[in-house]
Structure 1
Amino acid sequence: MPDEQEDRWRRETGGSGFPERARRRLRRLRDSRSRERAEVVLLVKCTVAAGLSWFIASTLMQAASPAFAPFTAVMMVQATIYRSIAASWRYVAAVTAGVVVQGALGFLFGPAFPTFLLVALVALALSRLPALGAQRTSVATAAFFAFSQFTMATDTAGRVQGLVEIVLLVLVGCLSGVAVNLVLFPPLRYRSADEGLAVLASSVADLLQDMGTALCSGEAGSDDAHRWRRRANGLADMVSQARTGVETARESLRLNPVFFLRRHRDRTSLETQRNVVGALDRVGGLASSLARGLAERDGGEAAAPSPAELGALLSSLSDAARSLQDIGEGPLRQRIGELDGRLDDVRLRLSRLEEDRSGDAVRTAVYTDAARLEEEFRTLRDALREETGEAPPH
Structure 2
Amino acid sequence: MIKSKQHNEGSPSLAARFWRTTVESLSAAVSGPRLQLAAKAGLAAGLAFLVAPLMPGAAAQYPYYAPLGALVAMYENVAGSMRQGVQTLIGLGLGIGLAFLLVSFSDPTPVTVAIVMGLGVLLAGLPRLGAGRDWIPTAALLVLLVGGNNPDDFSFGYLVQMGVGVVVGIAVNVLVFPPLHFKAAALSLAELRWALAKQLSDMGAAMREKWPPEHEEWAVRSEALAQSARDVRTAVQKADASRQANPRRRLHDHNVDRDYNDLRGLESVTFHIQDMTEVLADVIWDEDAPFVIPLPYSEPLADALDAVSEVLRSMEDEQPDKQNELIGSAKAAVDALAERMASDDVNPHAPSAAESIVLTLHRILRVVTAGQS
TM (norm. structure 2) is 0.78
Q: Secondary structure at the match of 2:125?
A: coil
CA separation of 1:185/1:228 partners in 2, compared to 1, >3 Å: closer, same or farther? same
Which amino acid in structure 2 is aligned with residue 340 of structure 1?
Answer: N
Residue of 37, 46, 55 corresponding to 2:41: 46
Q: Secondary structure at the match of 2:172?
A: helix
What is the identity, as a one-letter code, of the residue corresponding to 2:229?
V
From 226, 229, 242, give the equivalent of 1:252: 242
Structure 1 residue 378, shift from structure 2 partner: 4.4
Does residue 177 (structure 1) correspond to residue 169 (structure 2)? The answer is yes
User: Is it true that 1:270 corresponds to 2:262 in the alignment?
Assistant: no
> What's the offset of the Cα at 1:355?
5.2
1:380 partner amino acid: V
Contact 1:289 1:369 in 2 (8 A): no
Aligned counterpart, 1:308: 299
Contact 2:283 2:353 survives alignment (8 Å): no
Q: Which moved more, 1:121-130 or 1:287-296?
A: 287-296
**Is 2:32 aligned against 1:55?**
no
Report deviation, 1:215.
0.8
Kindly state the Cα deviation for residue 281 of structure 1 after the two structures are TM-superposed: 2.6
1:76 — aligned with what?
Answer: 73
- 2:3 aligned partner: none
- Equivalent-residue separation in structure 2 for 1:116 and 1:366 (angstroms): 70
Q: Could you tell me how far apart the structure 2 residues matched to 1:63 and 1:200 are?
A: 53
- Give per-residue Cα distances to partners, 1:17-66, cap 9 Å, x unaligned: xxxxxxxxxxxxxxxxxx74323321221122112221221234462121
In the TM superposition, 1:137-152 aligns within 5 A as 137-152=134-149
| Number of equivalences | 337
Distance in 1 (CA, whole Å) between partners of 2:359 and 2:320 is 20
Which runs of structure 2 are paired with 1:290-305 in the superposition (5 Å)?
Answer: 290-291=279-280, 294-295=283-284, 303-304=293-294
Structure 2 vs 1, CA of residues 307 and 176 (structure 1 numbering), >3 Å: closer, same or farther?
Answer: same
Aligned residue in 2 for 1:211: 203
Contact 1:343 1:378 in 2 (8 A): no
Corresponding residue for 1:238? Answer: 228
For 2:365, the equivalent position in structure 1 comes to: 377
For 2:322 and 2:50, locate their aligned partners in 1 and report how far apart those are by CA, in whole Å. 56
CA distance in 2: counterparts of 1:68 and 1:207, whole angstroms: 54
Matched residues in 1 for 2:226 and 2:194: separation? 14
Superposition pairs of residues 320-331 of structure 1, within 5 angstroms: 320-324=311-315, 326=316
Give, in whole Å, the separation in 2 of the partners of 1:121 and 1:106: 15
Contact 2:314 2:323 in 1 (8 A): yes
* Aligned-partner Cα distance in 2 for 1:362–1:289: 18
Q: Which amino acid aligns with 2:83?
A: A
Q: Percent of pairs identical after alignment? A: 22
From 334, 337, 356, the counterpart of 1:350: 334
Report the Cα offset of residue 351 of structure 1: 4.4
**Match status 1:366 vs 2:357:** no
Quote the Cα distance in structure 2 between the aligned partners of 1:337 and 1:52: 55
- Asked if structure 1 preserves the Cα contact closer than 8 Å seen for 2:262 and 2:371, the reply is no
Contact 1:233 1:288 in 2 (8 A): no
Contact 1:53 1:69 in 2 (8 A): yes
Give 1:73 shift. Answer: 1.0
CA contact (8 A) 2:291 2:351 kept: no
Unmatched 5+ stretches in structure 2: 1-29
Offset at residue 82 of structure 1 (A):
1.8
CA distance in 2, matches of 1:151, 1:246: 49
Contact 1:204 1:284 in 2 (8 A): yes
2-structure distance, mates of 1:84, 1:308:
56
**Structure with the larger RCO, 1 or 2 (CA within 8 Å, 6+ apart):** 2
- The alpha carbon displacement at 1:190 in A equals 1.6
1:161 deviates by: 2.2
Is 1:319 the counterpart of 2:310 in the alignment? yes
Residue type of the alignment partner of 2:327: L
CA change 1:292–1:215 in 2 (3 A) is: closer
1:284 aligns with 2:273: yes
* Counterpart-to-counterpart distance in 1, 2:300 and 2:133: 60
CA contact (8 A) 2:53 2:60 kept: yes
CA distance in 2, matches of 1:182, 1:241: 27
Q: How many angstroms does 1:240 deviate by?
A: 1.6
User: Does residue 117 in structure 1 map to residue 117 in structure 2?
Assistant: no
Structure 1 portions without partners, runs of 5+: 1-34, 154-158, 328-333, 387-394
Q: 1:338 to 1:88 in 2, by over 3 A?
A: farther
Q: In 1, are the aligned partners of 2:291 and 2:350 still within 8 Å (CA)?
A: no
Maintained 8 Å contact 2:276/2:360: no
